[in-house]
């Protein structure tokens, strides 16, 4: 991997350390202050130049009819009304007044069309850009971003997820999501009271112990664990850990995002992006509304409405929005026709047409791309495939969508197989 | 246990009629000769309300299976297994690793059969034993322990509950675990266990708050599926057949032969009344679907829902053409102990994805002949050479089974290894279970460690202070000879002796330290943080 190579190079300049001992190498390099400051410098540079992405994942698949493509007054429309927004001509469902007020910064895609109507498979498709076929496990897009944009020597993870998510697949632990459950707290066990010199002695002995186990036949596991220990040790000393907490936020900031799990998660996401983390996912569940979709929406939407609109305002004020892609979506859509499930009807799985929200990173706000017919059952204008979406995400992140990823057995796979950037999405 | 052929009661005639009927259906549907439809005469079923009654019915069906007659004449030993596998391996057989030494064996077999490490005294007595059959004696011995039953009960409970979305107040994983422990300990056959789980019909007791019948262990498979027909269908196929057909709920399987309709026919089996399949485009339009099992078996038309659940269990276990049932169990156990499966345990696509199919099919067939005795599978595999080979990371399918894959230990095993050293600590135990959590149905090859795991083992304050005050620590401090100290340390933490190199290294570390007690803490710290500590080698 890239890290090893770079570390290897750095340390060879200092002499004697073999590639195998790179755990030891890592600890030495931390001790070596020149290298440490060099890492920090790199991080600073990346923060200036690099792009970031915040993915707000609505797990369960939110209804397009109750988000950005309402159809009031039709048999399919149900109780949902539409409201006008900051952008003339763009109307959305009435559950989202605060998003309506920042519409000039937001692009809606109303003509998404997918292939997978089961949660696990849809989640996989919309996170990796690939369908779940065969045995390959494709990486989460966040892992691709972490690999392509993230500083390999970063002292905090290049990909943080607030809530469980997919893994880095065949890209391995180097770019795996660092998962936290409760936003606003430091990661557990990140400190110890061991003096640095003693910690170094321990790590040096550990690295020898690990070498023996490699020779006994556990090379892959040891390699992985060594990487993880190296990262953990960097993280324990990171001044950037404070991004996980709110200590230095003004009092009203937490309020502005909403004192909810999601609101606080989005605030942490902004702090992490500010600290140079290129990819953050924030998850919120409960969108699988087979039953009671209208009441369910009244319950679920306000947290997202508040937090997401505040995130956009905050990023913009800090000058971060132009470099940060914000995505809000779920795994597919919901049946335009209301089902007949007792006790209170809702909407079932539907993948033919659904919608999502994008903003920042060069995306032209104040527009709705694509159109469905009056009953919301057919796309009548500019259908967008998942491949098109991923090409557009790559463009926003300045990643080459045609680059090849290599599976463990060396099979090259294109990051995005087909499709083209969504027309008119970028200004 | 299954009661077999105790026909002494008055109802027995009724039973026999019923059994003959069911068998008739099994055989006619297997022959798949489409006969002209006659109106089915009403079926006078004896009540099937209690589990015992269901089991009795099943016992009769089982008794009459043709398979039992063949069974006595067929044997399949661990040596046969090795031979069959080596034949399959072809040129790859050149890269077979060596057979492990006794010390590696005892640790491996303890972890696989009990989820615990062997104690130093046990290791020493095993090493010193001169009995040439000592490995197989140890296997037999461990299979009779409660720890064996508990470990595998825990495994299956976690398989059933890992992705369950059921309300926590309506399930009881521990009741299921206890019940399974009891079954595994007394050697209950796998078909019986399966049937008990699938045919359960838990009833809610409204008089008691949150009583959904979860206290009765076997009810919990159905409760984990929230008693939903579609969930029961996909979980039954996944866990008991190793087939992934969940996606066929919405559309034909993307790369296998399962049709959407087949999925819903299977779901119809579990439905209390008439099952209706929603139209994929318009959920308000529904078509009635009749129950039909995956191989085409149809239940007796007038059968009530509880009898239908018994019959699906019978189709699952006793239709000899349903090779998936026996094979799914074999493949799961094999994956757990060898580190790789013949296929990913619950996502089997087309049958052509099965690697070394003749081998797994033979084990599965013999598992059936052996009356689905779970312990037979363990004996077969654990006594084989393939199980007793040295580890190596397997990176391509052609290398599969030429070595044992070094496997990550499951969260409960890591927690137990720690607890063994620190003594009981509920909060720490809970944290380890969360941080080391892994999906039991994912292959070892796709599991990953995390930074959080490293942070926990390096820094967790209560872990560090408990280790520093542990019995092991006291024991080590009391030893004045450095070499002996290092050996005790390795035996207690890694369940093996230290190598010469390791002794030298650790002794030097002690000698170079000014603070001996602190240095001992460091040595314990290093082993706890080593990859080996949380790996089955």
The percent of residues in chain B predicted with pLDDT above 90, rounded, is 59
CA distances from A92 to A82, A98, B271 (A): 5, 11, 40
A91-100, A232-241, A281-290, B299-308, range with the lowest pLDDT:
B299-308
* Beta-carbon contacts below 8 Å between A and B: 157
Query: How confident is the model at residue B93, as a pLDDT?
Result: 87
Name the residue among A167, A202, A340 with its Cβ closest to that of B284. A340
Residues A337/B282, Cβ–Cβ less than 8 Å: yes
- Please check whether residue B490 is in contact with residue B498, taking contact to mean a CB–CB distance below 8 angstroms: yes
Predicted confidence band of residue B347 (pLDDT cuts 50, 70, 90): low
Higher pLDDT, A352 or A342: A352
Interface subset of B 446-465, CB within 8 angstroms of A:
446, 448-456, 458-461, 464
Distant-in-sequence, close-in-space partners of B51: CB < 8 Å, separation ≥ 6: B196, B199, B200, B218
Q: How far apart are CA A77 and CA A169, in angstroms?
A: 40
Among the listed residues B483, B495, B500, the one whose alpha carbon sits nearest the alpha carbon of residue B527? B495
pLDDT recorded at residue B67: 59
What is the residue extent of each domain of chain B?
Answer: 67-102+125-130+323-405, 409-536
Rounded to an integer, the average pLDDT of A389-401 is 97
pLDDT at site A290: 92
N-terminal to C-terminal alpha carbon distance within chain B: 36
- Report the pLDDT averaged over residues B500-516: 96
Q: With CA atoms as reference, report the closest residue to A285 among A57, A118, A59, A120.
A: A59
Q: Tell me the C-alpha distance between B325 and B198, whole Å.
A: 13
How much is the pLDDT for B432? 96
Phi then psi for residue A369, to 5 deg, are -95, 135
Q: Which residues of chain B have a CB within 8 Å of the CB of A120?
A: 246
Mean pLDDT of B511-526: 96
Nearest to B282 among A224, A337, A409 (CB): A337
Which carries the bigger pLDDT value, residue A274 or residue B308?
A274
- Rounded CA gap, B201 and B309, in Å? 9
Provide the mean pLDDT of chain A: 88
User: Do the Cβ atoms of B283 and A231 come within 8 Å?
Assistant: no
pLDDT tens string A160-172: 999 999 989 889 8
Residues in chain B: 537
Q: SS3 sequence, B33-77?
A: CCCCCCCCCCCCCCCCCCHHHHHHHHHHHHHCCCHHHHHCCCCCC
Q: Largest alpha-carbon pair distance within chain B?
A: 92
The answer to whether residue A45 scores a pLDDT higher than 50 is no
- pLDDT tens digits, residue range A192-207? 889 999 999 999 999 9
**Alpha-carbon span B509 to B527, nearest angstrom:** 14
Kindly identify which residue of chain A lies nearest to residue B528, measuring between CA atoms. A206
Q: What is the pLDDT of residues A249-260, one digit of tens each?
A: 998 999 999 999
Name the more confident of B70 and A282.
A282
Chain B residues in contact with A171 by the CB 8 A cut-off are none
Please name the residues between 477 and 536 in chain B that touch chain A, using a CB distance below 8 Å: 499, 501-502, 505-506, 509, 518, 522-523, 525-527, 529-532, 535
Cβ neighbours of residue B484 closer than 8 Å, sequence gap 6 or more: none
**Comparison of pLDDT for A9 and B451, the residue scoring more:** B451
Per-residue confidence (pLDDT) for residue A12, from 0 to 100: 26
Compute CA distances B81 → A348, B242, B387, B400, whole Å.
Answer: 49, 22, 11, 15
What is the pLDDT at residue B65?
62
Which residue's entry shows tokens 């890239």? A2
Q: How confident is the model over A93-122, as a mean pLDDT?
A: 95
Residue B14: the pLDDT is 55
Measure in Å the smallest separation between the Cα of A228 and chain B Cα atoms: 5
Highest CATH level, class, for B409-536: mainly alpha
The pTM of this model reads 0.83
Whether residue A137 lies within 8 A of chain B, CB to CB, comes out as yes
Instruction: Decide if pLDDT at B135 tops 60.
Output: yes
Residue A416 confidence class, pLDDT cut points 50, 70, 90? very high
B178–chain A nearest CA distance, Å:
29
Torsion angle of the four alpha carbons A252, A258, A263, A269, in this order, in degrees rounded to the nearest 10: -20
- Residues A166 and A175: their CA atoms lie apart, in Å, by 12
CB A319 within 8 A of CB A308: no
pLDDT at B20 over 70: no
What's the Cα-to-Cα distance from A408 to each of A134, A237, A412, B118, B394, rounded to whole Å? Answer: 14, 32, 10, 36, 12
What mean pLDDT comes out for the span B443-455? 91
- Chain B: residue nearest A210 by CA? B530
Partner A contacted by B162 (CB < 8 A): no
Contacts of A348 in chain B (CB under 8 A): 278, 283
Q: Is the peptide bond before A225 cis (omega within 30 degrees of 0)?
A: no
Q: Which of chain A's residues have a Cβ under 8 Å away from the Cβ of B390? A: 216-217
User: In this predicted model, what pLDDT tens digit does every residue of B247-285 receive, in sequence order?
Assistant: 676 666 655 667 788 888 888 888 888 888 877 767 667
Which pLDDT does position A281 carry in this prediction?
A: 98
**What is the distance in angstroms between the Cα of A48 and the nearest Cα belonging to chain B?**
27
- Structural domains of chain A in order of their starting residue, each with its CATH number: 1-10+18-49+191-240 (no CATH), 50-185+245-414 (3.40.720.10)
Measured in residues, chain A has a length of 427
Three-state secondary structure call for residue A207: helix
What is the secondary structure of A209-227 as a DSSP string? HHHHHIIIIIHHHHHHHHH
Who among B392, B460, B505 is closest to A208 (CB)? B505
Instruction: Give the number of C-alpha atoms closer than 13 A to the C-alpha of residue A80, restricted to the C-beta side.
Output: 34
pLDDT in tens, A304-351: 999 999 999 999 999 999 999 999 999 999 999 998 887 889 999 999
Q: Span B77-91, mean pLDDT?
A: 94
Helical segments of B67-189, H only: 67-71, 78-89, 102-114, 120-128, 134-143, 146-161, 173-186
Residue A205 CB contacts under 8 Å (≥ 6 apart), including other chains: B505, B506, B509, B522, B523, B526
pLDDT at B187 over 90: yes
How far apart, in whole angstroms, are the C-alpha atoms of residue A44 and residue A33?
Answer: 16
Whether A334 contacts A78, CB under 8 Å? no
Alpha-carbon dihedral B259, B264, B268, B272, rounded to 10 degrees: 170
Q: Which of A38-42, B364-368, B447-451 has the lowest mean pLDDT?
A: A38-42
Q: Do A178 and B450 touch (CB under 8 A)?
A: yes
Mean pLDDT (whole number) for B217-242: 92
* B39 pLDDT tier (thresholds 50, 70, 90): low
CB A94 within 8 A of CB A67: no
pLDDT (tens digit per residue) in B226-237: 998 888 998 998
B373 and B272 Cβ atoms separated by less than 8 Å = no
Res A38: pLDDT: 46
The verdict on a CB contact (< 8 Å) between A408 and B278 is no
Mean pLDDT of A71-91: 96
Of A299-313, B96-110, B385-399, the range with the lowest mean pLDDT is B385-399
B165 in helix, strand or coil?
coil
**Mean pLDDT across chain B:** 86
Count other C-beta atoms under 10 Å from residue A232's C-beta.
22
Chain B residues within 8 A of A411 when measuring between CB atoms? none
Q: How far is it, in rounded angstroms, from Cα A181 to Cα A187? A: 9
């Amino acid at each position: 991997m890239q890290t090893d190579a770079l570390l290897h190079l750095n340390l060879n300049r200092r002499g004697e350390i073999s590639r195998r001992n790179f755990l030891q190498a890592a600890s030495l390099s931390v001790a070596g202050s020149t290298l440490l400051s060099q890492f920090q410098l790199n991080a600073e540079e990346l923060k200036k130049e690099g792009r970031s992405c915040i993915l707000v994942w609505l797990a369960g698949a939110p209804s397009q009819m109750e988000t950005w493509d309402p159809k009031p007054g039709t048999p399919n429309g149900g109780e949902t009304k539409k409201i006008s927004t900051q952008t003339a001509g763009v109307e959305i469902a009435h559950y989202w007044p605060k998003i309506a007020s920042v519409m000039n910064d937001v692009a809606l895609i109303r003509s998404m069309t997918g292939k997978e109507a089961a949660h696990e498979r849809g989640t996989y498709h919309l996170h990796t850009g690939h369908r779940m076929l065969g045995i390959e496990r494709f990486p989460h897009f966040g892992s691709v971003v972490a690999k392509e944009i993230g500083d390999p020597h970063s002292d905090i993870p290049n990909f943080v997820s607030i809530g469980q998510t997919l893994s880095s697949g065949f890209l391995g632990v180097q770019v795996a999501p660092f998962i936290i459950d409760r936003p606003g707290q430091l990661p557990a066990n990140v400190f110890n009271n061991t003096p640095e010199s003693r910690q170094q002695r321990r790590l040096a002995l550990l690295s020898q112990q690990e070498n023996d186990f490699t020779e006994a036949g556990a090379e892959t596991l040891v390699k992985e664990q060594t990487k993880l220990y190296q990262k953990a040790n960097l993280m324990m000393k990171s001044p950037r850990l404070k991004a996980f907490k709110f200590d230095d936020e003004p009092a009203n900031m937490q309020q502005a995002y909403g004192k909810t799990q999601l609101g606080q998660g989005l605030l942490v996401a902004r702090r992490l992006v500010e600290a140079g983390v290129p990819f953050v996912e924030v998850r919120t569940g409960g969108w699988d509304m087979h039953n009671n979709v209208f009441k369910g929406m009244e319950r679920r939407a306000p947290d997202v409405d508040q937090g997401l609109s505040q995130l956009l305002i905050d990023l913009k004020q800090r000058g971060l929005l132009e470099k940060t892609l914000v995505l809000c979506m779920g795994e597919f859509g919901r049946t335009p026709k209301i089902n007949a499930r007792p006790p209170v009807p809702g909407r079932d799985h539907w993948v033919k047409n659904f919608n999502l929200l994008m903003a920042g990173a060069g995306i032209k706000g104040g527009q709705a791309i694509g159109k469905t017919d009056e009953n919301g059952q057919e796309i009548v204008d500019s259908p967008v495939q998942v491949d098109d979406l991923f090409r557009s995400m790559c463009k926003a992140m300045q990643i080459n969508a045609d680059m090849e990823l290599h599976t463990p057995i060396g099979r090259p796979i294109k990051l995005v197989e087909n499709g083209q950037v969504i027309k008119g999405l970028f200004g | 246990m299954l009661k077999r052929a105790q026909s002494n009661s008055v109802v027995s005639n009724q039973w026999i009629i019923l059994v003959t009927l069911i068998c008739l259906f099994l055989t006619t549907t297997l022959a798949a000769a489409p006969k002209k439809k006659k109106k089915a005469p009403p079926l006078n079923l004896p009540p099937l309300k209690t589990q015992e009654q269901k089991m009795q019915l099943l016992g009769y069906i089982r008794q009459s299976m043709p398979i039992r007659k063949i069974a006595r004449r067929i044997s399949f030993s661990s040596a046969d297994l090795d031979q069959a596998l080596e034949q399959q391996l072809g040129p790859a057989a050149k890269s077979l690793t060596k057979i492990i030494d006794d010390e590696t064996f005892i640790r491996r077999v303890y972890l696989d059969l009990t989820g615990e490490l062997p104690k130093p005294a046990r290791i020493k007595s095993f090493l010193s034993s001169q009995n040439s059959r000592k490995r197989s004696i140890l296997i037999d011995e461990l299979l009779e322990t409660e720890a064996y039953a508990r470990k595998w009960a825990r495994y299956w409970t976690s398989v059933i509950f890992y992705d369950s979305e059921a309300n926590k107040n309506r399930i009881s994983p521990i009741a299921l675990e206890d019940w399974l422990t009891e079954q595994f300990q007394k050697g209950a056959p796998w078909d019986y266990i399966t049937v008990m789980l699938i045919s359960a019909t838990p009833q809610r007791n409204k008089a008691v708050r949150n009583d959904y019948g979860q206290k009765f262990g076997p009810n919990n498979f159905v409760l984990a599926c929230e008693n939903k027909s579609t969930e029961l269908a996909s979980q039954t196929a996944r866990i008991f057949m190793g087939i992934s057909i969940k996606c066929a709920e919405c559309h034909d399987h993307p790369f296998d032969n399962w049709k959407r309709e087949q999925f819903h026919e299977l779901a119809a089996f579990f439905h209390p009344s008439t099952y209706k399949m929603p139209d994929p485009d318009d959920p308000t339009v529904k078509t009635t679907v009749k129950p039909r099992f995956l191989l085409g078996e149809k239940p007796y038309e007038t059968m009530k829902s509880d009898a239908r659940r018994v019959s699906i269990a019978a189709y699952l276990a006793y239709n000899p053409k349903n090779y998936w049932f026996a094979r799914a169990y074999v493949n799961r156990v094999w994956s757990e102990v060898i580190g790789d499966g013949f296929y990913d345990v619950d996502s089997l696509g087309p049958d052509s994805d099965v690697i070394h199919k003749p081998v797994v099919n033979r084990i599965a067939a013999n598992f059936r002949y052996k009356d689905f005795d779970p312990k037979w599978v363990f004996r077969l595999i654990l006594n084989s050479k393939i199980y007793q080979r040295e580890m190596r990371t397997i990176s391509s399918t052609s290398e599969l089974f030429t070595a044992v894959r070094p496997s990550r230990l499951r969260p409960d095993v890591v927690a137990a290894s720690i607890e063994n050293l620190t003594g009981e600590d509920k909060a720490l135990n809970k944290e380890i279970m969360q941080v080391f959590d892994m999906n039991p149905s994912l292959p070892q090859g796709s599991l990953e460690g995390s930074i959080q795991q490293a942070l926990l083992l390096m820094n967790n304050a209560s872990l560090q202070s408990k280790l520093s005050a542990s019995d092991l620590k006291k024991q080590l401090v009391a030893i004045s000879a450095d070499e002996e100290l290092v050996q005790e340390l390795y035996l207690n933490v890694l369940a093996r002796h230290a190598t010469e190199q390791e002794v030298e290294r650790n002794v030097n570390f002690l000698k170079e330290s000014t603070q001996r007690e602190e240095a001992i803490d460091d040595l314990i710290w290093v082993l706890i943080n080593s990859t080996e500590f949380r790996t089955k080698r």
